């Protein structure tokens, strides 16, 4: 899959951009604050309708303007034209110039995986970050998963509200417990199937990136083993004191083990970076396997953070992604760009919200 | 950013209209502007219609549907099956199901569904009335026709438990959106937020 064309109007610091991109490995070079990350953000937005920086619509509109527009041509099995317009008063999403009515009809038109500094939280952050990692993968590959997850989260919220009511209405609690169990079980089952598929991908990426050949194991640790209903029953007394739902997949963990030890506490900074990259590579490869085409890789400011040997390990993995007529977009500064890839690179210069091809 | 502000009575009218379900601030404003520029007699008759409707319509003392007479025509109709009660959330659901023409029993409007997050508990729904009707004797089956989201489903589980022991059958028909398939664009966007909520700390 590749992005053949990108048009931006009043998006971040781009007043106007019209660019065509071939499949292959694109490097976006430029000093700080020129618009490199903004460009990746626009591509990711076309893929997911969300900013990977967590920015809301207003922040994306170029200062002083009314609304932004992103036009993207996605080439996969078919060629699709994406149009996104966003202003305070109006939001328009079109696919081949037709208004999109349901998100499910849209998602998947363009697929992208982003690598950025915040990925380090996958290793350093709380279990919540790793649950979200599993949930995003499952939502993108398993029909129905997102719906179960949303139901489950709503059931937890409702059940917690019931537990806070005084006096406690047991029958009411039971009603929402039924719903919690019904939605919770398929979530645990889906995560249980996912992790063993993901683990070898992460392990092999980790071995390529780290010259020392360290082993990375992923271990899904559902907070509830066995029956969810029985686990809730066992927590009856505690739940009534704490007035909250104390067990369930909203508390699951995805353990990362480096050389058999918990990575969050035992890994060095450099190793943590390796693991985060390995997880993102695993994500990209899992999506490739599930959909038959590689997602577009968006790599933001990652090179500068890596030592020579890790760079040497990572670059071949990224290069591989472009072989199936895939695409990689990588932002770099003059110091950090991967010269070792030489002529295979398609280079662009980003300066003050404008993009210029650099001849090879 | 709107235009320079409207005369105060128009603002007030727009604000009142904007509180109606399904009317956003912009359409409320448009409607208000339309009304104040319409023929005065038309507006006066519209106001009269509103008052008449409000004054003559009340919930049916038996089923809770909207009616001009007590009990409502559906409750009074001797041709309907007293052994079946179809439980719905709102008076509008009664109309929809009645129009479909396949149900020939009685109705019961709950007036909502259990929603702990918005403070709607069993005491806020017409549950005692339902139990009273079920205990009345004639009823053999209660059919729950509630939405199939978490709250609708939990309300069904709750009702099934509460009516157990009354010696009747409690069944369920899917009503509204099937689980997980009918989510609207806007909803899914806000909901997708639940899994991918990141704060601005990257790049
Ligand atoms: N809504 C906006 N309107 C105009 N300029 C913006 C907007 N948002 C960000 N910028 C500008 O974009 C630049 C940062 O772009 P970014 O892509 O993050 O830089 P980098 O090239 O370092 O990755 C800054 O100069 C910032 O002021
Ligand atoms: Mg940047
Ligand atoms: Zn009635």
pLDDT, tens only, B92-108: 889 888 887 788 999 99
Q: Which residues contact A207 (CB under 8 A, 6 or more apart)?
A: A213, A214, A215
Rounded to whole angstroms, how far apart are CA atoms B85 and B65? 13
All domains of chain A in start order, with CATH:
120-268 (1.20.1050.90)
pTM score: 0.83
pLDDT recorded at residue B200: 30
Nearest-CA residue for atom 12 of ligand 1 = A13
Parallel/antiparallel/unpaired status of strands A112-115 and A91-95: unpaired
Half-sphere exposure of A205 (CA within 13 A, CB side): 28
For residue B151, the chain A residues in CB contact (below 8 A) are 154, 158
- Select from B151, B195, B199 the Cβ nearest to the Cβ of A54: B199
DSSP letter, residue B10? H
* Residue where one domain finishes, among candidates B31, B56, B81: B56
Kind and range of the H or E element at B42? Answer: helix B40-56
Q: Are residues B125 and B189 both part of a single domain?
A: yes
Per-residue pLDDT of chain A (360 residues; tens, 9 = 90+): 899 999 999 999 999 999 999 999 999 999 999 999 999 999 999 998 889 998 888 999 999 999 999 999 999 889 999 999 999 888 899 999 999 887 778 888 999 999 998 999 999 999 999 999 999 899 888 888 988 998 999 999 999 999 999 899 999 999 999 999 999 999 999 999 999 999 999 999 999 998 777 899 999 999 999 899 999 999 999 999 999 999 999 999 999 999 999 999 999 998 999 999 999 999 999 999 999 889 999 999 888 788 888 888 888 888 876 676 789 999 988 777 777 777 678 999 999 999 999 987
Distance from CA of A85 to the nearest CA of B (A): 15
pLDDT recorded at residue A178: 95
Q: Are residues B113 and B81 both part of a single domain?
A: yes
Q: How far is the CA of B87 from the centre of ligand 3 (A)?
A: 12
Please tell me if the CB atom of residue A117 comes closer than 6 angstroms to any atom of ligand 1.
no
DSSP letter, residue B117? G
Residue A250: closest C-alpha in chain B:
B195
Determine the residue among B27, B195, B200 to mutate to test chain A binding: the one whose Cβ has the most chain A Cβ atoms within 10 Å.
Answer: B195
Crossing angle of the two packed helices A170-209 and A127-141, in degrees rounded to 10 = 90
Helix (H, G, I), strand (E, B) or coil at A339: helix
Q: How far is the CA of B73 from the centre of ligand 3 (A)?
A: 7
Rounded to whole angstroms, how far apart are CA atoms A153 and A176? 12
DSSP letter, residue A99? E
Residue A114's beta-bridge partner residues? A298
Rounded to whole angstroms, how far apart are CA atoms A136 and B122? 36
How much is the ipTM here? 0.78
Q: Considering only CA atoms, give the Rg of chain B.
A: 22
Q: Are residues B43 and B12 both part of a single domain?
A: yes
Nearest-CA residue for atom 20 of ligand 1 = A33
Q: Residue count of chain B, please give it.
A: 203
Q: Are residues B101 and B120 both part of a single domain?
A: yes
- Check: CB of residue B183 under 8 Å from CB of residue B191: yes
- Select from A53, A154, A155 the Cβ nearest to the Cβ of B203: A53
- Ligand nearest to the backbone CA of B86: 3
**Residue tagged 């038309």 (tokens):** B42
Cα angle A106, A107, A112; round to 5: 135
Q: Is residue B194 part of a domain?
A: yes
DSSP letter, residue B175? B
pLDDT recorded at residue B4: 64
Q: Are residues B50 and B70 both part of a single domain?
A: no
- In the stretch 72-111 of chain B, residues with CB closer than 8 A to chain A read none
Please tell me if the CB atom of residue A351 comes closer than 6 angstroms to any atom of ligand 1.
no
Determine the residue among B26, B150, B164 to mutate to test chain A binding: the one whose Cβ has the most chain A Cβ atoms within 10 Å.
Answer: B150
DSSP letter, residue B122? G
Residue A216's beta-bridge partner residues? A258
Q: Are residues B21 and B71 both part of a single domain?
A: no
The CATH number assigned to the domain holding B20 equals 1.10.8.420
Ligand 1 pocket test: which of A28, A33, A65 has the largest number of ligand atoms within 8 Å of its C-beta?
A33
Please tell me if the CB atom of residue A13 comes closer than 6 angstroms to any atom of ligand 1.
yes
Extended beta strands in B15-174, E state:
58-59, 66-67, 81-88, 105-109, 141-144, 169-172
Within 10 Å of residue A265's Cβ, how many Cβ atoms? 7
Contact state of A151 with B203 under an 8 Å Cβ cutoff: no
For residue A174, the chain B residues in CB contact (below 8 A) are 157-158, 161
Q: Are residues B112 and B182 both part of a single domain?
A: yes
Distance from CA of B52 to the nearest CA of A (A): 36
Kind and range of the H or E element at A216? Answer: strand A216-221
Query: Comparing B182 with A252, which gets the higher pLDDT?
Result: A252
Alpha carbon distances (Å) from B132 to B95, B104, B108, B163: 23, 21, 12, 11
Sheet (strand B105-109) strand order: B105-109, B81-88, B141-144, B169-172
Before A325, cis peptide (omega within 30)? no
Which protein residues have their CB within 5 A of the ion that is ligand 2?
A 37; B 203
Q: Are residues B52 and B128 both part of a single domain?
A: no
Q: Is residue B61 part of a domain?
A: no
Buried/exposed code over A318-330 (b: 16+ C-beta within 10 A; e: otherwise): bbebbeeebbbbb
Q: Are residues B132 and B41 both part of a single domain?
A: no
* Residue where one domain finishes, among candidates B56, B84, B100: B56
pLDDT recorded at residue A335: 77
Within 10 Å of residue A311's Cβ, how many Cβ atoms? 17
* Residue where one domain finishes, among candidates B19, B36, B56: B56
The CATH number assigned to the domain holding B87 equals 3.40.1360.10
Q: Are residues B126 and B168 both part of a single domain?
A: yes
Q: Are residues B138 and B192 both part of a single domain?
A: yes
Specify the number of domains making up chain B.
2
Q: Are residues B50 and B87 both part of a single domain?
A: no
> What domain range includes position B40?
3-56
B19 and A CB contact within 8 Å? no
B203 and A CB contact within 8 Å? yes
């Amino acid at each position: 899959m590749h992005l053949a064309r990108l048009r931006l109007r009043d998006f971040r610091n781009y007043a106007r951009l019209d660019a065509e991109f071939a499949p292959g490995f694109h490097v976006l070079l430029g000093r700080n604050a020129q618009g490199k990350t903004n460009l990746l953000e626009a591509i990711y937005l076309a893929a997911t309708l969300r900013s990977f920086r967590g920015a809301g619509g207003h922040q994306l509109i170029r200062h002083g303007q009314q609304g932004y527009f992103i036009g993207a041509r996605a080439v996969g099995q078919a060629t699709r034209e994406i149009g996104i317009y966003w202003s305070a008063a109006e939001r328009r999403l079109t696919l081949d110039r037709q208004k999109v009515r349901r998100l499910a009809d849209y998602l998947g038109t363009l697929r992208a995986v982003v690598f950025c500094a915040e990925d380090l939280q996958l290793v350093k952050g709380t279990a919540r970050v790793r649950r979200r990692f599993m949930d995003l993968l499952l939502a993108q590959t398993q029909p129905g998963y997102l719906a179960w997850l949303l139901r489950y989260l709503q059931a937890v919220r409702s059940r917690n509200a019931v537990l806070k009511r005084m006096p406690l209405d047991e029958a009411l609690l039971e009603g929402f417990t039924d719903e919690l169990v019904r939605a919770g079980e398929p979530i645990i089952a889906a995560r249980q199937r996912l992790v063993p598929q993901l683990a070898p991908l992460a392990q092999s990426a980790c071995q390529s990136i780290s010259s020392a050949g360290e082993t990375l194991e992923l271990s899904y640790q559902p907070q509830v083993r066995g029956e969810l209903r029985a686990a809730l029953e066992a927590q009856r007394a505690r739940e009534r004191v704490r007035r909250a739902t104390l067990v369930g997949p909203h508390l699951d963990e995805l353990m990362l083990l480096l050389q058999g030890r918990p990575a969050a506490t035992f890994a060095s900074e450099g190793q943590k970076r390796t693991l985060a990259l390995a997880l993102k590579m695993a994500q990209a490869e899992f999506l490739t396997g599930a959909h038959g085409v590689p997602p577009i890789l968006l790599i933001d400011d990652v090179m500068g953070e890596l030592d020579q040997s890790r760079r040497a390990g990572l670059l071949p993995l990224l290069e591989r992604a472009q072989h199936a007529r895939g695409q990689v977009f990588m932002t770099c500064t003059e110091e950090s760009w991967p010269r070792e890839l030489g002529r295979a690179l398609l280079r662009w210069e980003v300066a003050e919200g404008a993009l210029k091809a650099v001849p090879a | 950013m709107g235009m320079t502000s409207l005369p105060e009575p128009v603002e007030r009218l727009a604000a009142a209209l904007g509180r109606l379900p399904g009317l956003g601030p912009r359409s409320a404003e448009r409607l208000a502007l339309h009304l104040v520029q319409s023929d005065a007699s038309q507006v006066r008759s519209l106001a009269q219609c509103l008052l008449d409707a409000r004054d003559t319509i009340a919930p049916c003392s038996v089923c809770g549907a909207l009616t001009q007479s007590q009990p409502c025509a559906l409750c009074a109709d001797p041709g309907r099956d007293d052994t079946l009660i179809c439980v719905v959330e709102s008076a509008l659901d009664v109309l929809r199901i009645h129009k479909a023409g396949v149900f020939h029993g009685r109705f019961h409007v709950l007036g909502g569904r259990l929603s702990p997050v918005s403070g709607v508990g069993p005491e806020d729904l017409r549950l005692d009335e339902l139990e009273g009707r079920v205990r009345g004797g004639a009823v053999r089956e209660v059919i729950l026709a509630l939405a199939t989201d978490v709250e609708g489903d939990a309300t069904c589980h709750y009702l099934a438990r509460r009516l157990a022991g009354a010696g009747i059958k409690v069944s369920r028909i899917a009503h509204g959106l099937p689980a997980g398939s009918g989510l609207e664009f806007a909803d899914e966007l806000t909901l997708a937020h639940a899994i991918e909520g990141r704060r601005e700390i990257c790049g």
